[in-house]
Amino acid sequence: MWAMIVRRLSVSAISLALLVTLVFFMIHATPGGPAYSILGSHASPQAVAALNRQMGLDRPLPEQYLIWWAHLLEGRLGYSYIQHVEVSHLIGVYLERTLILDLAALGLAIAVAIGVGLLQGYLAERIGGRIIGFFQIVFYAMPVFFTGILLIYAFSMQLDWLPPGGVGHTLAGHARHLVLPVLTLALPIAAGFSRYFGHQAREEYRQDYVRTARARGLCEWRIATHHVLRNAVRPFITLVGMMIPVLFVGGVLTESVFNYPGLGWLLWRSALDQDYPTVSAITLIIGVLTILGNLIADLLNSMLDVRVRYE
Amino acid sequence: MSADPLVAVESLRVTARRAGRTYPIVEDVSFQIEAGSLLALVGESGCGKSLTAAALLGLLPWGLAIASGRIRLEGQDVLALAPAQWRRLRGRQVGAVFQNPLAALNPSLPIWKQVVESAQLAFGLDRPAARHRALELLERVGVPDAAQRLDDYPHQFSGGMRQRVAIAVALACNPRVLVADEPTTALDLITQAEILGLLNRLRLEQGLAVLFITHDLSLVAEYADQVLVMYAGRVVEQAEARRFFAGPRHPYSRALLGAIPRLATPEVRLTDIEGLPPNPLDYPSGCRFAPRCPRVIDRCRSEDPPPVGDERQRVFCQRPWAAEGI
């Protein structure tokens, strides 16, 4: 078990190093180099050369690469020439808002997926199971901006129950502002998750141990929660880990529809402004979160797998 | 025995619905099993023997239903019960063991939890009491070093041991009826004999009424009190075991016995049965065995076979073999 954890941690470390390297080359691959994007495409060659020297971009690439690592280890993600601020200062508050939105949506999606998936697995080919399957496809296919605008139209404009966007200033205000974006972001994810988990649950319901459980008089609720769930949940955990970048991409759209100032919104603005240091830093953060998500999913899985635990 | 039988099935009929039509899958099956007695329900795959057991347990697969008949467990008419009440009888009055012990246990729960789960729910045992009960049950079914194995998981047991654990699961609430649906089919010959011996010992010790389902007549020759042979959803022969093994009267029963290899007389050629059993959605009229029967006459194809004989040995056939005098 411990050998497995060490092995898994080293895989994550290697992935992280590769990610950092990739982002480094991504910055250097910007058309014309960073100086052009700062000074504009009509800048004189002298001005570009001067800026390159000032930023250390005229040094050999390996040296710049080492400096990039040194800065990262100090927690410096770069300097935004558009906003004139250290990217790490910029990102903090946006990252927090995004984590709140994404984790709330993820939690809701997982809860819905497990409930709906167990029901779907139990119903199998019965009419109820088919109806659930139909709505999963519909909700999965609905684009975030469409759902978002529909929800804003219904709950903000017609019913006037919830704000159409932005953030609140009190705790209750925050919560009220989160309801619609969380629903919008969670809906397609819940649809995808529940379809996958429903399939897993259905496979488990076909297993003989379910019949044995029924034959000893257990009720369906107990069979679902104590037997099927336990076995169906492991591949699902892997899927959730893998879906974290997708969740974030959905978050970009959701945050722009609801004008919610999170990391996705910042990514969208920075991309429009060609603020490459900020875009690279956000890419790096998403990458780190993805690697962490997969690591947690794998560790959880091995803890739940009795065969791994007892070896 | 003068007491009421523990299991009484009367004219059971199970039907399947497909595309708006209903098809009979099991027709007119009746039997009784008394305490301490073993009834062997025999037939080829697809003859309806497992569905008869599933009906008795109230666990028919979706799409199948009991169309008519009566099932009484310890005198209680279970078909008159609400589903939740019937569910409560499972485990407490009737336990079940199935064919594939490798899949019958939940792979991610330690065995002691599975063995006593129903007893915990039924009697509200606390954890130490439940573990004690699990130990007692595992010892009763002959799991060696049971005390050390309580926390083991199913994959740490061999097939035979898992079937012993599955039997312990079935007996956790002291049911008086046990349904054993091909419990030894997936096991090797030595283990088969051990599991059979265990089931027989438990039946004698606890006075269990056992419904033993198998496609292999030789397995039950030693232990059965009654034999019921099914073919294509119907009973073809039903007899006291002594009479049946002395001389089965239905051509199908004879053919089944003829297909068993014998160590003592290896020079006798095995006979197999020509053809395949009919499709349940398209049963032939008259006797359903007629297309494969060596003794078939014209009337077999047009008329349902009449019952012949008495309750000690009844056969449904136009031309049965003569009864052996006992």
pLDDT in tens, chain A (311 residues): 778 888 888 988 999 899 888 888 887 776 666 677 677 777 788 888 887 887 777 788 888 888 888 888 888 887 777 778 888 888 888 888 898 999 999 999 999 999 999 999 999 888 999 999 999 999 999 888 888 889 888 888 888 888 887 777 778 888 888 889 999 999 999 999 999 999 999 999 999 999 999 999 899 999 999 999 988 988 888 888 888 888 887 888 888 888 888 888 888 888 888 787 888 888 888 888 888 888 888 888 888 876 655 54
User: B253 and B266 in contact (C-beta within 8 Å)?
Assistant: no
ipTM: 0.85
User: B66 and B77 in contact (C-beta within 8 Å)?
Assistant: no
Question: How big is chain A, counted in residues?
Answer: 311
Q: Which of A234, A232, A197 minimizes the C-alpha distance to A120?
A: A197
Q: Which of B12, B105, B17, B82 minimizes the C-alpha distance to B53?
A: B12
Chosen from B64, B108, B148, B156 to mutate, greatest number of chain A CBs within 10 A: B108
Distance CA B184, CA B171 (A): 17
**Would you call A231 an interface residue with chain B, using a CB distance cutoff of 8 Å?**
yes
User: A91 and A283 in contact (C-beta within 8 Å)?
Assistant: no
Q: What are phi and psi of B93, to 5 degrees?
A: -105, -30
Report chain A residues whose CB lies below 8 A from the CB of B169. Answer: 212, 216
SS3 B181: strand
Go through B128-142 and write b for each residue having 16 or more CB atoms within 10 A of its CB, e for each that does not. Answer: eebbebbbebbebbb
Residue B45, token pair as written in the block: 């795959």
SS3 A122: helix
Enumerate the β-bridge partners of residue B180.
Answer: B97, B212
**Would you call B118 an interface residue with chain A, using a CB distance cutoff of 8 Å?**
yes
Which among B90, B106, B172 is the nearest to A209, CB-wise? B106
| CB spacing of B122 vs A209 below 8 angstroms | no
Number of helices followed by number of strands (H, E) in chain B: 11, 12
Q: Residue A280 is inside which H or E element, if any?
A: helix A276-304
Distance CA B322, CA B151 (A): 57
Report which DSSP code applies to A169: S
pTM of the model: 0.81
Distance CA A289, CA A270 (A): 20
Q: Which of A137, A247, A135 minimizes the C-alpha distance to A189?
A: A247
Domain boundary assignment for chain A: 91-310
Report chain B residues whose CB lies below 8 A from the CB of A209. Answer: 103-107
**Would you call B178 an interface residue with chain A, using a CB distance cutoff of 8 Å?**
no
Q: What is the largest CA-CA distance in chain B?
A: 68
Residue B201, token pair as written in the block: 């010992």
Between the CA atoms of B294, B299, B305 and B311, what dihedral angle is there, to the nearest 10 degrees?
A: -80
Q: Which residue matches tokens 């006798």?
A: B268
Distance CA B188, CA B161 (A): 12
Report which DSSP code applies to B22: E
Homologous superfamily of the A91-310 domain (CATH): MetI-like (1.10.3720.10)
